[in-house]
């Protein structure tokens, strides 16, 4: 998808969502308040004693526009100000009893509308929607301290995720065709059919209940383990997860007595290669090949564990 197509997709979603939540209606939730006034009421109802400057920063709204909204609330008896104990230049904003009374039906109607929207979806659809909204929020405004990753062994359904995400991400990021997804499916199927829990392992990385990465260590011989199918979701990159997964492979390999780990990759996968170099792997062979609809250079890397 090119840049113009992505812009069009975001604009299309914006139009769809504003229609869903009724932004274009004259009053928010059939009330006397605009959308901006409703957001200010919400913050004041949940955070007593805010300063106007903090409210403007929180909502990312023009201070002059916010000032007009606050003066309107004061004129209607919805808002009271009191001097700040720490800064004489600031006032603390508090909703009056009338202000809370004005906010209560807004809050009730909002919950009812969202509840009705969710009620139209099956349980699985509700979970998908909530997860998708969290993804949008995290992509547009990543948390300062991301939630920690959980590493676990595979369970039913994980192989489908591994196959699907490899196919989708490599097609999007490198233009590889469906032959690559087919290869990953073959590897995953063999892993399930011939799984040796004493010598092999799959790690699935989770965050907030969603799969965000994986790696496999399989038996190549009695003394050699093979690292396969390392993948990290874009939302989880740059946070050390790839290094952690590769380190888990090495820890397990040492534990079960492998003397060496080998892996095969391609030279265009720069981020993965950087992880392998950082973990002490060395390039032992490379060969040009035509695969997945592209001219590539395949590479064999290994790490001696003795």
Is residue 143 domain-resident?
Answer: no
User: Distance (Å, rounded) from C-alpha 5 to C-alpha 289?
Assistant: 32
Alpha helices in 153-269 (DSSP H): 158-174, 178-194, 241-256
Residues 154 and 275 placed together within one structural domain of the fold = yes
User: Distance (Å, rounded) from C-alpha 221 to C-alpha 101?
Assistant: 73
Residues 155 and 109 placed together within one structural domain of the fold = no
Is residue 162 domain-resident?
Answer: yes
User: Distance (Å, rounded) from C-alpha 7 to C-alpha 25?
Assistant: 25
Residues 168 and 100 placed together within one structural domain of the fold = no
Is residue 19 domain-resident?
Answer: yes
User: Distance (Å, rounded) from C-alpha 34 to C-alpha 25?
Assistant: 9
Is residue 133 domain-resident?
Answer: no
Give the number of domains in the chain.
2
Do 57 and 50 touch, CB atoms closer than 8 A? no
Residues 28 and 170 placed together within one structural domain of the fold = no
Residues 180 and 109 placed together within one structural domain of the fold = no
Residue 38 pLDDT: 83
pLDDT in tens, the chain (306 residues): 688 888 888 888 888 877 776 655 555 666 778 878 888 888 888 877 778 888 888 888 888 888 899 899 999 998 888 887 766 677 888 889 998 998 888 888 888 888 888 888 888 888 888 878 877 887 787 766 666 899 999 999 999 999 999 999 999 999 999 999 999 999 999 999 999 999 999 999 999 889 999 999 999 999 999 999 999 999 899 889 999 999 999 999 999 999 999 999 999 999 999 999 999 999 999 999 999 999 999 999 999 998
Query: pLDDT tens digits, residue range 123-133?
Result: 888 888 887 88
Is residue 116 domain-resident?
Answer: yes
Lookup result for tokens 């959980």? 150
Residues 107 and 162 placed together within one structural domain of the fold = no
Residues 216 and 278 placed together within one structural domain of the fold = yes
For residue 44, give the CATH number of its domain: 1.10.10.10
Is residue 134 domain-resident?
Answer: no
Is residue 97 domain-resident?
Answer: yes
**Which H or E run contains 91?**
strand 91-95
Residues 97 and 159 placed together within one structural domain of the fold = no
Residues 248 and 169 placed together within one structural domain of the fold = yes
Record the tokens describing residue 99, joined without a space: 């202000």
7: Cβ contacts below 8 Å, ≥ 6 apart: none
User: Distance (Å, rounded) from C-alpha 111 to C-alpha 3?
Assistant: 36
289: Cβ contacts below 8 Å, ≥ 6 apart: 295, 296, 297, 298
Is residue 130 domain-resident?
Answer: no
Residue where a domain terminates, one of 99, 120, 141: 120
Which residues span the domain enclosing 93?
3-120
User: Does the predicted model carry a pTM greater than 0.85?
Assistant: no
For residue 155, give the CATH number of its domain: 3.40.630.30
Residues 295 and 169 placed together within one structural domain of the fold = yes
Residues 95 and 220 placed together within one structural domain of the fold = no
Residue where a domain terminates, one of 70, 104, 120: 120
Q: What is the dihedral of CA 132, 134, 135, 137, to 10 degrees?
A: 130
Residue where a domain terminates, one of 120, 139, 162: 120
Residues 154 and 285 placed together within one structural domain of the fold = yes
């Amino acid at each position: 998808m090119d840049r113009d197509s992505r812009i069009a997709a975001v604009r299309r979603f914006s139009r769809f969502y504003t229609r869903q939540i009724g932004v274009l209606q004259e009053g928010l939730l059939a009330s006397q308040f605009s959308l901006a006034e409703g957001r200010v009421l919400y913050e004041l109802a949940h955070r007593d004693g805010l300063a106007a400057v903090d409210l403007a920063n929180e909502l990312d709204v023009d201070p002059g526009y916010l000032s007009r909204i606050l003066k309107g609330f004061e004129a209607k008896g919805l808002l009271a100000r009191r001097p700040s104990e720490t800064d004489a230049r600031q006032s603390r904003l508090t909703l009056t009893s009338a202000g809370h009374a004005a906010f209560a039906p807004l809050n009730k109607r909002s919950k009812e509308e969202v509840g009705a929207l969710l009620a139209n979806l099956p349980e699985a659809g509700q979970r998908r929607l909530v997860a998708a909204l969290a993804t949008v929020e995290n992509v547009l405004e990543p948390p300062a301290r991301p939630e920690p990753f959980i590493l676990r062994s595979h369970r039913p359904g994980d192989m489908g995720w591994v196959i699907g995400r490899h196919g989708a991400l490599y097609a999007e990021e490198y233009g590889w065709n469906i032959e690559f997804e087919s290869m990953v499916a073959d590897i995953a199927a063999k892993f399930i059919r011939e799984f040796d829990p004493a010598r092999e392992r799959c790690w699935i990385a989770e965050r907030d209940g969603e799969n965000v990465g994986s790696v496999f260590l399989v038996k190549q011989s009695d003394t050699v383990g093979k690292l396969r199918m390392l993948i990290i979701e874009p939302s989880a990159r740059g946070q050390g997860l790839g290094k952690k997964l590769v380190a888990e492979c090495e820890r397990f390999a040492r534990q079960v007595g492998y003397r060496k780990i080998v892996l095969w990759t391609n030279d265009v996968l720069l981020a993965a290669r950087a992880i392998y170099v950082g973990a002490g792997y060395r390039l032992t062979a490379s060969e040009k090949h035509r695969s997945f609809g592209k001219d590539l250079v395949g590479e064999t890397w290994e790490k001696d564990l003795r």
